Structure 1
Amino acid sequence: MFWNLTSPGHTVVKNRHGLVVRAAVSHARGTAERDTALELLQSLPKKRRKTVGADKGYDLKSFVQRCRDLRITAHVAAKDKGSAIDERTRRHAGYEVSQRKRKCVEEPFGWAKVIGPIRQVKQRGKPRVNALFQTTMMGWNLVRMRNILATSGTRAGHEPAWPHTPRRRRRQAHEHASRHITSLSKNGRNAAPVTCDRRFSTAC
Protein backbone atom coordinates (compact mmCIF):
# COMPACT_ATOMS: atom_id res chain seq x y z
CA MET A 1 0.00 0.00 0.00
CA PHE A 2 1.06 3.59 -0.51
CA TRP A 3 -0.31 6.50 1.46
CA ASN A 4 -0.90 10.03 0.27
CA LEU A 5 -2.07 10.99 3.79
CA THR A 6 -5.70 11.04 2.60
CA SER A 7 -5.61 8.63 -0.37
CA PRO A 8 -4.28 5.09 0.20
CA GLY A 9 -3.72 2.87 -2.84
CA HIS A 10 -5.02 -0.70 -3.13
CA THR A 11 -4.25 -3.53 -5.56
CA VAL A 12 -5.29 -7.09 -6.38
CA VAL A 13 -2.44 -9.10 -7.91
CA LYS A 14 -2.56 -12.41 -9.78
CA ASN A 15 -0.31 -14.81 -7.92
CA ARG A 16 0.82 -16.82 -10.93
CA HIS A 17 2.55 -14.01 -12.81
CA GLY A 18 2.47 -11.04 -10.40
CA LEU A 19 0.30 -8.86 -12.65
CA VAL A 20 -1.94 -6.21 -11.13
CA VAL A 21 -5.52 -7.01 -12.16
CA ARG A 22 -7.29 -4.36 -10.10
CA ALA A 23 -6.09 -1.08 -8.59
CA ALA A 24 -7.86 1.79 -6.88
CA VAL A 25 -7.38 4.76 -4.58
CA SER A 26 -9.73 5.43 -1.66
CA HIS A 27 -10.20 7.93 1.12
CA ALA A 28 -8.30 7.15 4.32
CA ARG A 29 -10.57 5.77 7.04
CA GLY A 30 -10.54 2.96 9.55
CA THR A 31 -12.05 0.33 7.26
CA ALA A 32 -10.75 1.59 3.89
CA GLU A 33 -8.46 -1.40 3.35
CA ARG A 34 -11.10 -4.08 3.75
CA ASP A 35 -13.95 -2.14 2.12
CA THR A 36 -11.92 -1.35 -0.99
CA ALA A 37 -10.55 -4.89 -1.15
CA LEU A 38 -14.10 -6.26 -1.24
CA GLU A 39 -15.07 -3.80 -3.97
CA LEU A 40 -12.10 -4.84 -6.08
CA LEU A 41 -12.74 -8.55 -5.51
CA GLN A 42 -16.40 -8.11 -6.39
CA SER A 43 -15.40 -6.62 -9.76
CA LEU A 44 -13.44 -9.75 -10.74
CA PRO A 45 -14.97 -12.22 -13.23
CA LYS A 46 -17.30 -14.64 -11.47
CA LYS A 47 -16.98 -17.65 -13.77
CA ARG A 48 -14.77 -19.73 -11.46
CA ARG A 49 -14.20 -20.00 -7.74
CA LYS A 50 -11.16 -18.06 -6.51
CA THR A 51 -8.90 -17.69 -3.50
CA VAL A 52 -7.40 -14.51 -2.10
CA GLY A 53 -4.41 -14.19 0.21
CA ALA A 54 -3.99 -11.30 2.64
CA ASP A 55 -2.32 -10.39 5.92
CA LYS A 56 -3.73 -10.52 9.45
CA GLY A 57 -5.45 -7.17 9.05
CA TYR A 58 -8.11 -8.94 7.00
CA ASP A 59 -8.72 -11.73 9.52
CA LEU A 60 -12.22 -10.60 10.46
CA LYS A 61 -15.45 -12.56 10.28
CA SER A 62 -17.16 -9.87 8.24
CA PHE A 63 -14.45 -9.89 5.56
CA VAL A 64 -14.15 -13.68 5.41
CA GLN A 65 -17.94 -14.11 5.20
CA ARG A 66 -18.27 -11.48 2.49
CA CYS A 67 -15.58 -13.27 0.47
CA ARG A 68 -17.51 -16.51 0.80
CA ASP A 69 -20.63 -14.77 -0.47
CA LEU A 70 -18.60 -13.78 -3.55
CA ARG A 71 -17.47 -17.42 -4.02
CA ILE A 72 -13.95 -16.48 -2.97
CA THR A 73 -12.04 -18.46 -0.34
CA ALA A 74 -10.20 -16.08 1.99
CA HIS A 75 -6.66 -17.36 2.64
CA VAL A 76 -5.75 -14.59 5.09
CA ALA A 77 -3.02 -14.95 7.68
CA ALA A 78 -4.66 -16.31 10.83
CA LYS A 79 -4.42 -14.43 14.11
CA ASP A 80 -3.10 -16.25 17.16
CA LYS A 81 -6.41 -15.71 19.00
CA GLY A 82 -9.91 -15.16 17.71
CA SER A 83 -9.16 -16.01 14.09
CA ALA A 84 -11.98 -16.15 11.55
CA ILE A 85 -10.05 -18.78 9.54
CA ASP A 86 -10.95 -22.25 10.73
CA GLU A 87 -9.00 -25.46 10.40
CA ARG A 88 -10.98 -26.49 7.30
CA THR A 89 -9.24 -23.73 5.37
CA ARG A 90 -5.79 -23.95 6.91
CA ARG A 91 -5.40 -27.71 6.41
CA HIS A 92 -5.31 -27.43 2.61
CA ALA A 93 -2.03 -27.06 0.73
CA GLY A 94 -3.49 -24.13 -1.21
CA TYR A 95 -3.57 -22.08 1.99
CA GLU A 96 0.20 -22.43 2.42
CA VAL A 97 0.73 -21.52 -1.23
CA SER A 98 -1.36 -18.38 -0.81
CA GLN A 99 0.61 -17.37 2.27
CA ARG A 100 3.88 -17.68 0.35
CA LYS A 101 2.66 -15.98 -2.79
CA ARG A 102 0.77 -13.11 -1.17
CA LYS A 103 4.06 -11.31 -0.53
CA CYS A 104 4.44 -10.70 -4.28
CA VAL A 105 1.70 -8.09 -3.92
CA GLU A 106 4.32 -5.74 -2.47
CA GLU A 107 6.54 -5.85 -5.57
CA PRO A 108 4.45 -3.42 -7.66
CA PHE A 109 4.50 -0.90 -4.80
CA GLY A 110 8.27 -1.17 -4.45
CA TRP A 111 8.75 -0.68 -8.20
CA ALA A 112 6.27 2.20 -8.26
CA LYS A 113 8.17 4.03 -5.49
CA VAL A 114 11.68 3.44 -6.84
CA ILE A 115 11.03 3.61 -10.60
CA GLY A 116 7.54 5.09 -10.72
CA PRO A 117 6.31 8.48 -9.46
CA ILE A 118 4.32 7.60 -6.33
CA ARG A 119 7.03 7.96 -3.69
CA GLN A 120 6.06 11.61 -3.40
CA VAL A 121 2.71 12.22 -5.09
CA LYS A 122 2.36 15.76 -6.38
CA GLN A 123 -1.24 15.48 -7.59
CA ARG A 124 -4.09 16.64 -5.37
CA GLY A 125 -7.58 15.25 -5.29
CA LYS A 126 -8.73 11.63 -5.46
CA PRO A 127 -9.43 11.53 -9.25
CA ARG A 128 -5.93 12.77 -10.13
CA VAL A 129 -4.21 10.53 -7.59
CA ASN A 130 -6.25 7.56 -8.82
CA ALA A 131 -5.27 8.29 -12.45
CA LEU A 132 -1.61 8.44 -11.44
CA PHE A 133 -1.86 5.21 -9.45
CA GLN A 134 -3.69 3.35 -12.23
CA THR A 135 -1.17 4.46 -14.84
CA THR A 136 1.75 3.48 -12.62
CA MET A 137 0.32 0.00 -12.10
CA MET A 138 -0.16 -0.28 -15.85
CA GLY A 139 3.54 0.52 -16.24
CA TRP A 140 4.39 -2.24 -13.77
CA ASN A 141 2.31 -4.70 -15.80
CA LEU A 142 4.18 -3.77 -18.99
CA VAL A 143 7.55 -4.31 -17.31
CA ARG A 144 6.37 -7.54 -15.75
CA MET A 145 4.98 -8.93 -19.01
CA ARG A 146 8.25 -8.07 -20.77
CA ASN A 147 10.16 -10.10 -18.18
CA ILE A 148 7.70 -12.99 -18.40
CA LEU A 149 8.01 -13.13 -22.19
CA ALA A 150 11.80 -13.00 -21.96
CA THR A 151 11.85 -15.87 -19.46
CA SER A 152 9.36 -18.01 -21.37
CA GLY A 153 11.28 -17.49 -24.61
CA THR A 154 14.52 -18.64 -22.99
CA ARG A 155 12.91 -21.72 -21.47
CA ALA A 156 11.38 -22.71 -24.78
CA GLY A 157 14.78 -22.63 -26.46
CA HIS A 158 14.08 -19.52 -28.53
CA GLU A 159 15.59 -16.08 -28.55
CA PRO A 160 14.26 -14.08 -25.57
CA ALA A 161 11.72 -11.37 -26.36
CA TRP A 162 13.86 -8.85 -24.45
CA PRO A 163 17.58 -9.57 -25.00
CA HIS A 164 20.02 -9.16 -22.17
CA THR A 165 21.55 -5.71 -22.12
CA PRO A 166 24.29 -4.07 -20.07
CA ARG A 167 23.29 -2.71 -16.68
CA ARG A 168 23.65 0.89 -17.84
CA ARG A 169 21.23 0.39 -20.74
CA ARG A 170 18.70 -1.34 -18.49
CA ARG A 171 18.85 1.57 -16.07
CA GLN A 172 18.33 4.03 -18.91
CA ALA A 173 15.32 2.02 -20.10
CA HIS A 174 13.81 2.14 -16.60
CA GLU A 175 14.36 5.89 -16.38
CA HIS A 176 12.72 6.37 -19.77
CA ALA A 177 9.74 4.26 -18.66
CA SER A 178 9.44 6.34 -15.49
CA ARG A 179 9.34 9.59 -17.46
CA HIS A 180 6.78 8.11 -19.84
CA ILE A 181 4.55 7.02 -16.95
CA THR A 182 4.73 10.51 -15.44
CA SER A 183 3.72 12.10 -18.75
CA LEU A 184 0.77 9.72 -19.09
CA SER A 185 -0.41 10.50 -15.56
CA LYS A 186 -0.48 14.22 -16.35
CA ASN A 187 -2.89 13.52 -19.18
CA GLY A 188 -5.22 11.71 -16.79
CA ARG A 189 -5.34 8.41 -18.66
CA ASN A 190 -6.62 5.33 -16.83
CA ALA A 191 -5.17 1.84 -17.01
CA ALA A 192 -6.79 -0.68 -19.32
CA PRO A 193 -8.39 -3.79 -17.79
CA VAL A 194 -6.20 -6.88 -17.45
CA THR A 195 -7.38 -10.49 -17.57
CA CYS A 196 -7.00 -12.45 -14.37
CA ASP A 197 -6.57 -15.95 -13.00
CA ARG A 198 -8.06 -17.88 -10.10
CA ARG A 199 -5.60 -17.16 -7.31
CA PHE A 200 -5.04 -13.62 -6.11
CA SER A 201 -3.49 -11.54 -3.36
CA THR A 202 -4.64 -8.19 -2.08
CA ALA A 203 -2.77 -5.34 -0.43
CA CYS A 204 -4.40 -2.23 0.89
Structure 2
Amino acid sequence: MAQGQRGQPASGDGAGGRPDCRICARCLHERRTTVHIHTPFRRTTRLGGYVTTQRVRKRIEEAFGWIKTVAGQDKTKFRGCNRVGWAFIFAAAAYNLVRLPKLVTETG
Protein backbone atom coordinates (compact mmCIF):
# COMPACT_ATOMS: atom_id res chain seq x y z
CA MET A 1 0.00 0.00 0.00
CA ALA A 2 1.17 3.49 -0.70
CA GLN A 3 2.10 5.73 2.21
CA GLY A 4 -0.79 7.84 3.48
CA GLN A 5 -3.63 5.47 2.61
CA ARG A 6 -6.12 4.64 5.33
CA GLY A 7 -5.74 1.26 6.95
CA GLN A 8 -2.05 0.96 6.18
CA PRO A 9 -0.48 -1.48 8.65
CA ALA A 10 2.48 -0.37 10.74
CA SER A 11 5.83 -1.45 9.37
CA GLY A 12 7.34 -4.45 11.07
CA ASP A 13 10.75 -2.85 11.58
CA GLY A 14 9.49 -0.67 14.42
CA ALA A 15 10.84 2.49 12.81
CA GLY A 16 7.52 3.84 11.55
CA GLY A 17 9.05 4.85 8.25
CA ARG A 18 11.71 7.04 9.89
CA PRO A 19 15.24 5.72 10.41
CA ASP A 20 15.73 7.05 13.95
CA CYS A 21 12.17 6.85 15.28
CA ARG A 22 10.21 4.12 17.01
CA ILE A 23 6.54 3.72 16.25
CA CYS A 24 4.91 6.46 18.26
CA ALA A 25 1.45 8.00 18.20
CA ARG A 26 2.60 11.06 16.26
CA CYS A 27 4.24 9.00 13.53
CA LEU A 28 1.24 6.74 13.24
CA HIS A 29 -1.08 9.73 13.04
CA GLU A 30 1.07 11.32 10.31
CA ARG A 31 1.03 8.10 8.32
CA ARG A 32 -2.73 7.61 8.94
CA THR A 33 -2.03 4.10 10.14
CA THR A 34 -4.62 1.93 11.83
CA VAL A 35 -3.27 0.08 14.87
CA HIS A 36 -5.08 -3.03 16.06
CA ILE A 37 -4.42 -4.19 19.60
CA HIS A 38 -5.85 -7.52 20.68
CA THR A 39 -7.56 -7.10 24.06
CA PRO A 40 -9.59 -10.15 25.10
CA PHE A 41 -10.37 -8.49 28.43
CA ARG A 42 -12.76 -6.07 26.79
CA ARG A 43 -15.28 -8.91 26.51
CA THR A 44 -14.72 -10.47 29.92
CA THR A 45 -14.48 -7.41 32.15
CA ARG A 46 -18.03 -6.37 31.31
CA LEU A 47 -19.48 -9.56 32.76
CA GLY A 48 -20.75 -9.47 36.33
CA GLY A 49 -18.98 -12.67 37.32
CA TYR A 50 -15.56 -11.24 36.44
CA VAL A 51 -15.46 -9.01 39.53
CA THR A 52 -16.45 -11.94 41.74
CA THR A 53 -13.80 -14.13 40.15
CA GLN A 54 -11.12 -11.51 40.77
CA ARG A 55 -12.14 -11.22 44.43
CA VAL A 56 -11.94 -15.01 44.90
CA ARG A 57 -8.62 -15.14 43.04
CA LYS A 58 -7.17 -12.47 45.34
CA ARG A 59 -8.23 -14.43 48.42
CA ILE A 60 -6.65 -17.63 47.07
CA GLU A 61 -3.43 -15.86 46.10
CA GLU A 62 -3.21 -14.30 49.59
CA ALA A 63 -3.40 -17.78 51.11
CA PHE A 64 -0.70 -19.19 48.86
CA GLY A 65 1.48 -16.14 49.45
CA TRP A 66 1.15 -16.54 53.23
CA ILE A 67 1.92 -20.26 52.99
CA LYS A 68 5.03 -19.60 50.92
CA THR A 69 6.42 -16.71 52.97
CA VAL A 70 5.28 -17.06 56.58
CA ALA A 71 4.85 -20.84 56.73
CA GLY A 72 8.13 -21.43 54.92
CA GLN A 73 6.78 -23.51 52.06
CA ASP A 74 8.58 -21.57 49.33
CA LYS A 75 11.21 -24.30 49.40
CA THR A 76 10.05 -27.48 51.07
CA LYS A 77 12.22 -29.22 53.58
CA PHE A 78 10.72 -32.65 52.92
CA ARG A 79 11.05 -35.29 50.24
CA GLY A 80 8.23 -37.42 48.92
CA CYS A 81 4.66 -36.59 47.99
CA ASN A 82 3.19 -37.72 51.30
CA ARG A 83 5.42 -35.57 53.48
CA VAL A 84 5.23 -32.51 51.22
CA GLY A 85 1.44 -32.88 51.07
CA TRP A 86 1.27 -33.18 54.85
CA ALA A 87 3.40 -30.05 55.29
CA PHE A 88 1.18 -28.10 52.89
CA ILE A 89 -2.02 -29.20 54.65
CA PHE A 90 -0.48 -28.27 57.99
CA ALA A 91 0.46 -24.81 56.67
CA ALA A 92 -3.03 -24.33 55.17
CA ALA A 93 -4.60 -25.27 58.51
CA ALA A 94 -2.33 -22.75 60.24
CA TYR A 95 -3.45 -20.08 57.76
CA ASN A 96 -7.08 -20.92 58.50
CA LEU A 97 -6.38 -20.49 62.23
CA VAL A 98 -4.76 -17.11 61.55
CA ARG A 99 -7.79 -16.06 59.48
CA LEU A 100 -10.38 -17.38 61.92
CA PRO A 101 -10.60 -14.36 64.28
CA LYS A 102 -11.18 -12.01 61.34
CA LEU A 103 -13.92 -14.26 59.98
CA VAL A 104 -15.63 -14.48 63.39
CA THR A 105 -15.72 -10.69 63.81
CA GLU A 106 -17.10 -10.21 60.28
CA THR A 107 -19.97 -12.64 60.71
CA GLY A 108 -20.69 -12.19 64.41
- TM-score scaled by length of structure 2: 0.50
* Cα pair distance change 1:111/1:90, threshold 3 Å: closer
CA RMSD of aligned residues (A): 2.6
Which aligned runs of 4 or more in structure 1 are off by greater than 2 angstroms? 89-92, 150-153
2:80 paired with 1:112: no
In structure 1, the gaps of 5 or more residues are: 1-79, 154-204
Q: AA paired with 1:118?
A: Q
Match of 1:138 among 51, 69, 93: 93
**1:128 and 2:86 matched:** no
93, 98, 104: which one aligns with 2:53: 98
- CA displacement 1:128-170 (0-9 Å, x = unmatched): 10111111111111221222113334xxxxxxxxxxxxxxxxx
Structure 2 match to 1:34: none
Residues matched between the structures, number:
70
Partner Cα separation in structure 2 for residue 124 and residue 107 of structure 1: 25
Q: Secondary structure at the match of 1:117?
A: coil
In 2: Cα distance, 1:132 partner to 1:141 partner: 14
Which of the pair has more CA radius of gyration?
A: 2
Alpha-carbon separation, structure 2, partners of 1:151 and 1:117 = 28
Distance of aligned partners of 1:102 and 1:114 in 2 relative to their CA distance in 1, 3 Å threshold: same
Q: Which has the higher contact order (CA 8 A, sep 6+)?
A: 1
Distance (Å, rounded) in 1 between the aligned partners of 2:72 and 2:46: 41
The aligned runs of 1:43-192 (5 Å cut-off) are 80=38, 87=43, 91-153=46-108
Q: Give structure 2 stretches of 5+ with no counterpart.
A: 1-37
Normalising by the residue count of structure 1, what TM-score does the alignment of the two structures yield? 0.29
Higher fraction of helix: 2
| Structure 1 residue 90 displacement after superposition | 5.5
Structure showing the higher strand proportion among its residues: 1
Tell me, in whole angstroms, the C-alpha distance in 2 between the residues paired with 1:99 and 1:125: 33
